[in-house]
Amino acid sequence: MIRGSKRVFSRSDMAHPQEAPLFSTALFPLASRRALLFLRFAVPAIAVALLFASPASLAQSSPKKIIIDTDPGTDDAIALLLAFHSPEVQVQAVTVVAGNVPVEMGLDNALRVTSLVGRCDVPVAKGASRPLLEPPATGLFWNGPGGMGGAQLPSPKCQADSSFGPDLIIQLVHKYPHEITLVPIGPLTNIALAVRKDPTIVPLVRQVILMGGGITGGNVNAVAEYNVHSDPEAADIVFNAGWPLTMVGLDVTEITLVTDEDVSKLEQHPGPETSFIATVLRYQIGTYKGTGIFHGGAIHDALAVGAAIDPTFLTTQDMRVDIETRGQFTRGMTVANRKNVVEKETMVDGHAEAIGVTPVQPNVHVATGIDAPRFVSFLLSRIGNH
Ligand code: BDR
Ligand code: CA
């Protein structure tokens, strides 16, 4: 019988309901009947599943291999800590891009964070020092002195990897085909450079989960979000590459806020990481509240990492999203088609005549909803206590 799209099996569906049992319970005491049922039904099912499991599906049960491309950055630092404290993901590399801070400072900050968590085994590589076309635009106001809210971390013990960030991305994607999830949380320059240099990585990447964009407004101006606005040409390449892409934009990150009360709870478990996190978050909270628009601090980038750990924090809608690279007021906007259709026109007597609608192919899973309280308490539970 078929109910909806799900196939529901009944006993009469079985090809040979009368066929002799594989394991006869008569031969075994009653107590072992459950075990027999397990052997009879579960074991063959597991065997068949293993037989047909592709390497990609097997990899799903092991930690997800991620590369974080970042411009640390207050919320970038929180995102890195979340990743390092989450067994569901395995950070294969951290690549640094110019953004919130100049790339040299970003590299130093990333190394300080990896040193703080004792993860010098993770390569940290410097990438692009400027967007593809324009000079860099840094964000001292949002990130504070040194880019991490004025927090003072000791000089890094970890050393930078000698590779160029985009080259390291290319190398790791080929090393782990279909296993790498890219998590870009800064301007998209490094990712675009990697795609341009070696387009064969695109079908080998498992998915891209980026923090950037927004379909209901911007934070640099009315419509553009910082990461996309900083390098729209790079974003254009990344959004049109043809890989599975989830956009975790301002629509969800600006409604997921950390408060002073949250930080006070964290501080009940003092430690070197806690004190760093508290300084970063308090800076973030103060800045965001200071705008008069927010009641807490946004931790944008942590949501992209969160979505890599557990996609159920978000609800998404598939949409066609294009990057505006020209507009007088709209450069850097993520232009989302929420209906996935456009008008179909034909030329009649020298003018365009609408003759219906025609579908457009979605290219992005757009995050449109978030369970914000669940995410914030998850984040705090992961990064607290260290
Ligand atoms: C994004 O811009 C940066 O300032 C943050 O780190 C985040 O990646 C939010 O628009
Ligand atoms: Ca960032």
Transcribe 33-58 into DSSP letters.
HHHHHIIIIIHHHHHHHHHH--HHHH
pLDDT digits (tens, 9 = 90+) for 149-193: 999 999 999 999 999 999 999 999 999 999 999 999 999 999 999
CA of 71, closest atom in ligand 1? 6
> What confidence score (pLDDT) does residue 385 get?
80
Nearest ligand, CA 212: 1
**HSE value, Cβ hemisphere, 13 Å, CA-based, for 159:** 3
Residue of 125, 105, 131 lying closest to 189 (CA atoms): 131
For a pLDDT cut of 70, what percent of the chain falls above it? 84
Task: Look up 229 and say whether it is catalytic.
Answer: no
Asked if pLDDT for residue 7 goes beyond 50, the answer is no
Q: Which of 300, 305, 333 to mutate to test ligand 1, by most ligand atoms within 8 A of the CB atom? A: 300
Tokens read off for 224? 């553009």
Give distance in angstroms: CA of 180 to centre of ligand 2.
Answer: 20
Nearest CA residue ID for atom 10, ligand 1: 226
pLDDT digits (tens, 9 = 90+) for 120-151: 999 999 999 999 999 999 999 999 999 999 99
Average pLDDT on 46-66 reads 56
Lowest mean per-residue pLDDT among 12-21, 105-114, 348-357: 12-21
CA of 250, closest atom in ligand 1? 10
SS3 287: helix
> What confidence score (pLDDT) does residue 25 get?
31
Give distance in angstroms: CA of 133 to centre of ligand 1.
Answer: 19
Asked if pLDDT for residue 201 goes beyond 90, the answer is yes
Give distance in angstroms: CA of 330 to centre of ligand 2.
Answer: 21
Does a cis peptide bond (omega within 30 degrees of 0) precede residue 327? no
Q: Confidence band (pLDDT; 50, 70, 90) for 33?
A: very low
Does a cis peptide bond (omega within 30 degrees of 0) precede residue 217? no
> What confidence score (pLDDT) does residue 368 get?
98
CA 188 – CA 85 distance, rounded (Å): 25
- pLDDT greater at residue 358 or residue 3: 358
Instruction: Please state whether the predicted TM-score (pTM) of the whole model is above 0.75.
Output: yes
CA of 139, closest atom in ligand 1? 4
Lowest mean per-residue pLDDT among 3-12, 107-116, 217-226, 277-286: 3-12
Asked if pLDDT for residue 49 goes beyond 80, the answer is no
Lowest mean per-residue pLDDT among 30-44, 231-245, 361-375: 30-44
**Catalytic hit among 85, 269, 300, 386:** 300
Average pLDDT on 59-64 reads 75
Task: Write down the mean pLDDT value for the chain.
Answer: 87
Nearest ligand, CA 227: 1
Backbone angles phi, psi at 152, to 5 degrees: -105, 110
Give distance in angstroms: CA of 99 to centre of ligand 1.
Answer: 8
CA of 72, closest atom in ligand 1? 6
Tokens read off for 54? 């592709």
Residues of the chain with CATH 3.90.245.10: 64-326+363-383
Burial-class residue 256 by CB neighbours within 10 Å (0-12, 13-18, 19+): buried
Q: Confidence band (pLDDT; 50, 70, 90) for 50?
A: very low
CA 364 – CA 187 distance, rounded (Å): 17
Pocket of ligand 1 (CB under 6 A): 73, 75-76, 100, 139, 142, 185-186, 211, 219, 225-227, 300-301
Nearest ligand, CA 137: 1
SS3 360: coil
CA 382 – CA 353 distance, rounded (Å): 57
CA 298 – CA 251 distance, rounded (Å): 12
Q: Class for domain 64-326+363-383, per CATH?
A: alpha beta
Q: Confidence band (pLDDT; 50, 70, 90) for 386?
A: confident
> What confidence score (pLDDT) does residue 259 get?
98
